[in-house]
A = this chain, B = another copy of it.
């Protein structure tokens, strides 16, 4: 699935929902296949940072990580009740 397809799918799902939403997409294209994949670790750090700004539970976060040969896509979706 391409970056574009993932994005479009999420855009559809979010239509007409009046809630506070935060979506974070991290796309990593590695130059070499054996270069390190740090996205799983980066994911934890980004979530820790986001928690400084908004009060979220882990069950409000949906995480998706896709790995291909030379690229990885991490997607974090947070939906909060409308303020």
How far does the alpha carbon of A14 sit from the alpha carbon of B31 in the complex, in Å?
13
Which of B22, B28, B38 makes the CB contact (< 8 A) with A21? B28
Interface size of A by CB at 8 A reads 38
Measuring CB to CB, which residues of chain A are less than 8 angstroms from any residue of chain B?
2-4, 7-8, 11, 14, 18-32, 35-36, 38, 41-42, 45-46, 49-50, 52-54, 80-83
CB distance from A82 to the nearest CB of B (A): 4
How far does the alpha carbon of A2 sit from the alpha carbon of B36 in the complex, in Å?
32
How far does the alpha carbon of A20 sit from the alpha carbon of B50 in the complex, in Å?
25
List the 6 closest A-B pairs by CB distance, nearest first.
A31-B82, A38-B53, A21-B29, A45-B49, A20-B31, A23-B27
